[in-house]
Amino acid sequence: MSFIQELKERSQTTNRKIVFPEGNDPRILRAARIVKDQEIATPIILGKEKELWAINVDPIKGISDFLIVDPAESEEYEEFYHKYYEMRKDKGVSLEKAKDLLKDPLYFSAMMVKNGFADGSVAGAANTTANVLRPALQIIGTASGVSVVSGTFIMLIDTPHVPRDMLIFADCAVNPQPDAQQLAEIAVSSARTARSITGLNPSVALLSFSTKGSAQHPLIDKVVEACRIARKMEPDIGIDGELQADAAIVPNIGERKAPNSKVAGKANVLIFPDLQSANISYKLVERLANITVIGPILQGMEKPVNDLSRGCSVEDIVNLTAITVLQADQVSQSSSGKTKEESEVQVESKS
Ligand code: ACO
């Protein structure tokens, strides 16, 4: 079974509600139809019913079986803008501003997730990453023990000379210039995402343009320091750096450049030193190697919100929804008191 099929099947066992703030985008309505018909989740669509009917992506079923919410007309609108005002008044937000912002589906959906009306949210088909992230960061915030939200991509590899079928890239989406502490957190969060969503046994490489002191520069020092902090945070996970990309993933190069490293040559979670290198790398790999990428999967949020690329396909939306469902399931298992190990989804371990 393909990894994507497996994701969908796992999400079908859960029964989660996912809110789609961008109901006016036809791709969202098409994806929501698949999500509902395949029982991946119960979709909640934000928008005006009349406008959504006008888009009419499904002439047979239409949208009559969707739960549709118009933020400004909803029963929760007043409660939500008051809550937002209380949360943000110390940051200078007025009640008038709160009233305005909560008419915005991205703010309203974050409030729905925060208050348990939905288990997660998927947006970004029609909005920039920053616009999707800001309300989520302000309203939902980070999970306990986490200070940095970041974004990973699952890269599904189909190239004979790379001896693995999947790599995780991070942070390709959120933090323009993480410091050493933030980079360490990104490494640890990505290892956890790798394990829980993909079943990988994480082997984490902190990437640089140097391998084990082959070059000297303050930028390399940051990566070395991040590696030290990450190892302290998660001593049971294989984490190493600084490593060049070839030393990280190609076994004979890893052996030559970093002979004492348990990660070199075997890394499956690649942590880039900043957003420019990460974002450029994932897009180049996607386009040049013509491989399937899934993400960005936002990690570190108290409840899941995921961000699509504006160039996304219907299939991308369905896949990210399945992941959002699995993340929501984990949140609920963790809050019901299960241990980290128990709540991590059990899937066949891949190297
Ligand atoms: N983790 C946790 N909290 C954060 C983070 C983070 N990474 N970033 C910001 N916050 C917090 C802020 O501290 C702030 O908290 P507060 O208001 O309660 O004090 C809150 O979130 C809101 O922050 P803002 O100041 O409103 O937003 P900011 O200007 O910090 O921007 C943002 C945050 C939007 C994520 C910004 O860092 C950004 O634009 N990142 C780049 C996104 C991007 O363009 N990615 C590339 C494209 S994605 C792709 O190609 C797949």
User: Given the CA of residue 153, which atom of ligand 1 is nearest to it?
Assistant: 51
**Which tens digit of pLDDT belongs to each residue from 278-337?**
999 999 999 898 788 898 999 999 999 999 989 899 999 999 999 999 999 988 777 766
All structural domains of the chain, each given as residue ranges with its CATH number in brackets, are: 3-141+303-343 (3.40.50.10950), 150-288 (3.40.50.10750)
Atom of ligand 1 nearest to the CA of 283: 50
CA angle 211, 213, 216 (to 5 degrees): 110
Per-residue confidence (pLDDT) for residue 337, from 0 to 100 = 60
**How many C-beta atoms lie closer than 10 Å to residue 343's C-beta?**
17
- Which tens digits make up the pLDDT trace of 202-236? 999 999 999 999 999 999 999 999 999 999 999 99
Give residue ranges with CB within 6 A of ligand 1: 91, 129-130, 133-134, 137-138, 142, 148-149, 172-176, 279, 296, 309
| pLDDT tens sequence across 125-162 | 999 999 999 999 999 999 988 899 999 999 998 776 66
The mean pLDDT of 243-247, rounded to a whole number, is 97
Q: What is the mean pLDDT of the chain?
A: 91
Candidate from 97, 127, 132, 134 with most ligand 1 atoms within 8 A of CB, to mutate: 134
Which residue's CA lies nearest to atom 48 of ligand 1?
Answer: 173
Q: Is the preceding peptide bond at 234 cis, omega within 30 degrees of 0?
A: no
Which residue lies with its CA nearest to atom 32 of ligand 1? 130
Rounded to an integer, what distance in angstroms lies between the CA atom of residue 320 and that of residue 41? 12
Exposure string for 179-214, b = 16+ CB within 10 A, e = fewer: ebbbbbbbbbbbbbbbbbbbbbebbbbbbbebbbee
- Whole-prediction pTM value? 0.89
Burial tier of 290 (Cβ tally within 10 Å: 0-12, 13-18, 19+): exposed
CB distance 212 to 263 below 8 Å: no
* Tally: H helices and E strands in the chain: 14, 11
Q: Does the pLDDT at position 348 exceed 70?
A: no
Q: Taking a C-beta distance cutoff of 8 angstroms, is the pair 151, 297 a contact?
A: yes
The per-residue pLDDT for 54 is 86
Ligand 1, atom 18: closest residue by C-alpha: 138
CA of 128 to the centre of ligand 1 (A): 12
Query: Quick check: 125 and 283 in contact, CB under 8 A?
Result: no
What's the gap in Å between 190 CA and the centre of ligand 1?
Answer: 18
What percentage of the chain has pLDDT greater than the value 70?
93
Q: What is the pLDDT of residues 25-40, one digit of tens each?
A: 999 999 999 999 999 9
Residue type at position 277? S
Give me 203's structure tokens.
Answer: 């082997």
Structure tokens at 298: 């936002």
DSSP string spanning 43-91?
EEEES-HHHHHHH-S-TTTTTTTSEEE-GGGSTTHHHHHHHHHHHHGGG
Residue-level pLDDT at 200: 92
Q: Is the pLDDT reported for residue 339 higher than 60? A: no
Distance, in Å, from the CA atom of 207 to the CA atom of 192, rounded to the nearest integer, reads 18
% of the chain with per-residue pLDDT over 90: 77
The H-or-E segment that residue 350 falls in is: none
Classify residue 198 by its DSSP letter. I
Please tell me the predicted confidence (pLDDT) of residue 340: 42
Residue nearest to atom 47 of ligand 1 (CA): 173
**pLDDT for position 343:** 41
Distance 184 CA to ligand 1 centre (A): 18
Residue where the block lists tokens 């052996």: 255
* Lowest mean pLDDT, pick from 75-89, 147-161, 240-254, 298-312: 147-161
Task: State residue 18's pLDDT score.
Answer: 98
What local confidence, expressed as pLDDT, does residue 291 receive?
86
Range of weakest confidence among 81-85, 142-146, 254-258: 142-146
Look at ligand 1, atom 49, and give the residue with the nearest C-alpha: 173
Nearest to 139 by CA among 256, 305, 350: 305
